[in-house]
Structure 1
Amino acid sequence: ELVIITGLSGSGKASALKAFEDLGYYCVDNLPVDLIPRFAELALQSLETRRTALVVDIREGSKLEKLPAIVKSVRRMIPTMVIYLEATDASLIRRYSETRRPHPFGADSPVRSSLGAERRRLKPIRAIADWVVDTSKFNVHELRAHLTERFQKEPSDKNILVSCVSFGFKHGVPEDADLVFDVRFLPNPHFVPEFRPLTGRDPRVAKYIRSFPQTQEFIDRISELLIYLLPHYVGEGKSYLTISFGCTGGQHRSVMIAEDVSKHLRKAGYRVKVMHRDS
């Protein structure tokens, strides 16, 4: 297994590589793109390097343009996954400010313009990624935990890791969503003044949303559907599934639904984590 970690400068690639090292992967930082095919061949010949993770990024300069073709070639000889890390400009600018490190494009240009240029240059790389991870709201420890949960090998009939994610449509649909459910048909607590500053995790808000008959019916039907689907995903070799629930702002309805559905899935014996992206 070969994992290629790439993405924007400051998005957490070093922390991601450390997570894979802790999982027992043989790790290499900044491997020249031209060496990846040969490295993949060598990885197949040694038990110590059968599970390998490497970082390839903008430091490669113009040679990075070769990566899509190289990945296509390498996939023929070894299972390969490309992880692309990114974050909002605001998050990346804050990180650069905290570390006081210059962007790889140099200290002569503002960080924001350098990030824009980097995004444009990496667009073809992002397009081939198997998993796009937005690290904007992750600290170092949360990012490592996020990756560890997904790649940790644990023998189990129900080893698939299910992520229940709440989000707001006005902020965009999560990039890594496998299934997306729109819960904007449920009554909106935003229009109840005392509920507006709260989230769906607050018992009062949750009770309000549950007071409508369509809420429980939706939870029951979706949970039943997912419990039916998950064994089929496992049968196809899928080890993780991201289920996203969206409402308008990602504060109330989607949060409550993600929490309740996750409880049903845990009761059915699945490993489940919950993430509230926008609350």
Structure 2
Amino acid sequence: MAEEVTEIDQMPDFVIVTGMSGAGRTEAMHVFEDLGYFCVDNLPSSLLGNLVQVNEETGRDGERRRLAVVCDSRNGDFFGDLDAELAAMTERGISYKTLFLDAADDKLIARYKSSRRRHPLCTDGTTIWQGIQRERHLLMGLRDKADFVIDTTDMLPQKLRSTIRGLFSTGSERKGLAVTVYSFGFKHGAPYDADLVMDVRFLPNPYYDPELRPLTGLDAAVRDFVRLREETIEFERRWHDLLDVVMPGYVAEGKQQLAIGVGCTGGQHRSVALAEATGDYLKSKGYRVSVAHRDLRLAERGKDVLVESDNVLDERAGARKGA
């Protein structure tokens, strides 16, 4: 956990995204959203200082809400104030990073033709090429002063995402994938949101041991019963081999969230123990993992009902003896 806090602390608090229309600003904002930034698109540059001030005044104590803002030529005359506004922010001691996205003219033209959108500087009947030249002239100074410039001419979206994460998130690419591992019981319904589902009902069931039945996979006795068996040891070895193959693939594809469901019959014993073990394994590999147990509350409710029933039976037995 300490490593993750350090990585977050090293991320810039304020990022301004600008650049050529069609160069990937929308995709960039998606990345910053995934990194936990509060994102504002198409903000007039004259409002940058106001946004920072409002963020400081409304932020809760101890909370560091990071901002990512797109300022571009869609704002018309407002865009011309960006250079001056950035200089004013520097004088006020407000730190920021600027990201400039660019691409070759022919690629920008092709992207606009395929999207059938109008270039923001082609409002007076000019061609797309003429609009691009206007925009280049307008942005020339900003490009030279930008902290980071990314040429997206030959970039696929996943490459752009990984490049931005590499620049603004000091953690590994694996930290960009939020993994949830959860246990569940098939008798309570199959999962709807899992990307991977592992059925562990083939393993011996602690439920049939009277001493283990009221316990859960979080208890050492059940955990040992499940994980110390030869068949489970072999299963976990092969399960880890599978994870070692698929997880890097999800990272390479730029996937941001992944849900792994581990299911047994009731969601109380085997799935709980193995979901915890799976989470520990993925954490050891550098992934950002949270572990949950979907149906454990149902099992524990059943456990409480069982205990309550035993108490009622004891009371009745005592009453009969007293009679």
SS at structure 2 position matched to 1:11? coil
SS at structure 2 position matched to 1:67? helix
Q: Which residue of 2 aligns with 1:25?
A: 37
Q: Kindly report the root-mean-square deviation, in angstroms, between the aligned alpha carbons of the 2 structures.
A: 1.8
SS at structure 2 position matched to 1:84? strand
Distance in 2, Cα, partners of 1:36 & 1:15: 21
What 5-or-longer segments of structure 1 have no aligned partner? Answer: 156-279
Distance in 1, Cα, partners of 2:151 & 2:53: 31
Distance in 1, Cα, partners of 2:64 & 2:39: 9
Q: Give the Å deviation of 1:123.
A: 1.4
The number of residues matched between the two structures is: 155
Q: Does 1:143 align with 2:160?
A: yes
Distance in 1, Cα, partners of 2:64 & 2:17: 16
Q: Give the Å deviation of 1:115.
A: 0.6
Counterpart selection for 1:126 from 134, 143, 167: 143
SS at structure 2 position matched to 1:154? coil
Q: Is the 8 A contact 1:26 1:49 kept in 2?
A: no
Q: Which residue of 2 aligns with 1:3?
A: 15
Q: Give the Å deviation of 1:78.
A: 2.5
Distance in 2, Cα, partners of 1:141 & 1:99: 19
Structure 2-normalised TM-score? 0.45
Q: Which residue of 2 aligns with 1:43?
A: 55
Q: Is the 8 A contact 1:43 1:49 kept in 2?
A: no
1:53-202 mapped onto 2 (5 Å cutoff): 53-75=68-90, 76-106=92-122, 108-154=125-171
User: What per-residue deviation string (whole Å, max 9, x for no partner) do you get for residues 72-106 of structure 1?
Assistant: 22233322011111100011111112111111123
**Given residue 55 of structure 1, which amino acid in structure 2 is its aligned partner?**
V
Distance in 1, Cα, partners of 2:104 & 2:19: 12
What 5-or-longer segments of structure 2 have no aligned partner? Answer: 1-12, 173-323
Distance in 1, Cα, partners of 2:141 & 2:77: 13
User: What per-residue deviation string (whole Å, max 9, x for no partner) do you get for residues 200-236 of structure 1?
Assistant: xxxxxxxxxxxxxxxxxxxxxxxxxxxxxxxxxxxxx
Distance in 1, Cα, partners of 2:155 & 2:133: 21
SS at structure 2 position matched to 1:93? helix
Structure number with higher helix proportion = 2
Distance in 2, Cα, partners of 1:29 & 1:114: 21
Larger Rg: 2
The sequence identity of aligned pairs, in percent, is: 36
SS at structure 1 position matched to 2:122? coil
1:211-250 mapped onto 2 (5 Å cutoff): none
